[in-house]
Amino acid sequence: MISRTPWTAEEIEQVRQFIASGKTTIDASEVLGRSRKAIMDVAIRNDLGCWQAHGGKPRVERQLPDDFAQLATNMTNDELAAHYRTRKENITLWRKLTGVFAVRVPPPPRQHPTLPAGFALDAPGLTMKQAKERYNRGETTLNRWAIEADICFRTPRLAKTIMGPKGAVDRTQRDMTRAGQAADYLRRLSSVFRCDANGRAKTNGKFWRRGSATLTDADLIERAEDRGWNPHAWKALSAPIPTTTTEGARA
């Protein structure tokens, strides 16, 4: 069982001898009956030296320089290691002994991409997506450039839409079959979309869904005609207007 009693002078001296003889913290823990962490802590607090790595060679530890506390306040660990010609592990240990914390080096200022030449002339004719592909930059950078150049990107043209099972549906692929025209007419009244035999939405389905009803092409056309749809109405609009001659008018 690991003991939690205070360290005695004899135990501290034993730790010093363990370090000097090249023993590891595992060896000291078995003899002293204390945890490895407690043994390492007492070695740091009492400046007993540096432990040998398990399975490695004994490490030679340098003594704490007299001017370390004065220099450590304004120097980084790398600068101190180069100044004293020692490892950074020693610098870390010396900081713990003196209580002087490491200097925080501020990160270098972020370099933003500069505005490309001709951006103010070319960008207004591009959408955001096209600008990303052309300039190989993200949306944040492109928006910053647009503010600097005092321009706006072109708004993409929105496709005409119709109401489908989940809201707006692209109308660029319009169904111009007789059933498709009937569906366009009925969409002014309610949602109509293609589906499978079970009524689930399907772009290339063979059936139509209107409300809770699943309809065939013939059923859909019949319902559209019942509600006033005339598939031949265009013929009346395209028929030529009859003209009357002067002789016919006199007769």
**Is 177 a member of any domain?**
yes
pLDDT, residue 57, reads 46
Find the helix or strand (DSSP H, E) in which 213 lies. strand 213-215
**Is 202 a member of any domain?**
yes
Domain span including residue 97: 62-104
| Distance, CA of 233 to CA of 118 (rounded, Å) | 54
DSSP state of 123: G
> For residue range 101-115, what is the model confidence (pLDDT) as tens digits?
776 667 778 788 888
pLDDT, residue 1, reads 42
Neighbours of 169 (CB within 10 A): 18
How much is the mean pLDDT over the chain? 78
Q: 179 and 171 in contact (C-beta within 8 Å)?
A: no
Please state the domain count of the chain: 4
Q: 175 and 146 in contact (C-beta within 8 Å)?
A: no
Q: What is the mean pLDDT of residues 14-41?
A: 82
Burial label for 133, CB within 10 Å (0-12, 13-18, 19+), is: exposed
| 95 shares its domain with 126 | no
Q: What is the mean pLDDT of residues 117-142?
A: 88
pLDDT, residue 60, reads 45
**Is 15 a member of any domain?**
yes
> For residue range 52-97, what is the model confidence (pLDDT) as tens digits?
555 444 444 567 888 888 888 888 888 888 888 888 888 888 888 8
| 98 shares its domain with 143 | no
| 167 shares its domain with 216 | yes
